Structure 1
Amino acid sequence: MTLRKNLSLGLLTAAALLGAPTAAQAVDLPVPGGQLQPVDAGAGLGAVTGALGHGVRPAKTLRLDPFAQSSADVLNNGLALEPDNGLKPVSTAPLTAPLSGGGGPKDLLLVGEVTDLLPG
């Protein structure tokens, strides 16, 4: 009896598959067109510059000296040299003061001007 059930079930399945229309025949789909939509370059550029600003801002304000404003800060010690011929003394303090104060790249002398060009 099970052989008879299996055989009739197989015949019914085969008849259903052979008699059923395919998906392409059942639904008439439109032919795809070859035209693209116009690109809004302003929106894309705005998204890129906005994301770039949010990504660069932490790097501009990153604290470069982890020991800044502590007793273990080696950059807090300035070295000054006073020439014999009456010129002004030359010191390392203007170079290291932004770092020993806890500043980032935006606070450095020449690098700070370059980081102002970056968004953020």
Structure 2
Amino acid sequence: MVAKSMVSMKSGAGLAAALGAAMLLGAGAGTAHAAPAEGGASLAKTDLAQALGGTTTGLGYGIAPVKDLRVDPWANSSADVLNNGATVQPEDTGLAPVSTSTLTGPLSAGGGPRDLPVVGQLLGALPG
């Protein structure tokens, strides 16, 4: 009989603690306020001139390193594979010889895409 009364006392204490915690948590839940229903968030109008200016500036900073990127890592060295060129002379047509050194020469000298004949002009149109 003694053991039975001890178990019931422990159960009663746990039940009282659970009820006390529920009352404390329940009291805090009643103090929450609802969000106001009037007036929602609104965004400001976008200034197109500033947006375009920011985009152009960011694009310029992003593209500038690519324009000056050294494409041939072995430029100006004895291991440079682009230092060799091939020339073709058309026969009896009066045309000038065509050479690969026109394209590979600027890269072999340590230049980047900005130094290439046609690509450099196209990259000049981009900001940066």
CA distance in 1, matches of 2:89, 2:23: 104
Match of 2:122 in 1: 114
Q: Which amino acid aligns with 1:6?
A: G
The share of aligned pairs that are identical, in percent, is: 42
Tell me, yes or no, if structure 1 residue 56 matches structure 2 residue 53. Answer: no
Structure 1, residues 55-114: CA drift from partner, whole Å, max 9, x if none?
A: 2112111112222111222332344566787x6863524333211101111001111000
Query: Which one of 72, 78, 87 corresponds to residue 71 of structure 1?
Result: 78
Larger Rg: 2
- Partner secondary structure for residue 23 of structure 1: coil
**Once the 2 structures are TM-superposed, how far is the Cα of residue 3 of structure 1 from its aligned partner?**
2.7
Number of aligned residues: 117
**Unpaired runs of at least 5, structure 2:** 1-8
TM-score by length of 2: 0.67
Query: Which one of 32, 38, 41 corresponds to residue 31 of structure 1?
Result: 38
Say which is worse superposed, 51-60 or 93-102, in terms of deviation: 93-102
- Partner secondary structure for residue 63 of structure 1: coil
Query: Which one of 41, 47, 59 corresponds to residue 40 of structure 1?
Result: 47
Tell me, yes or no, if structure 1 residue 103 matches structure 2 residue 107. Answer: no
Whether the 8 Å contact between 1:78 and 1:91 is mirrored in structure 2 is no
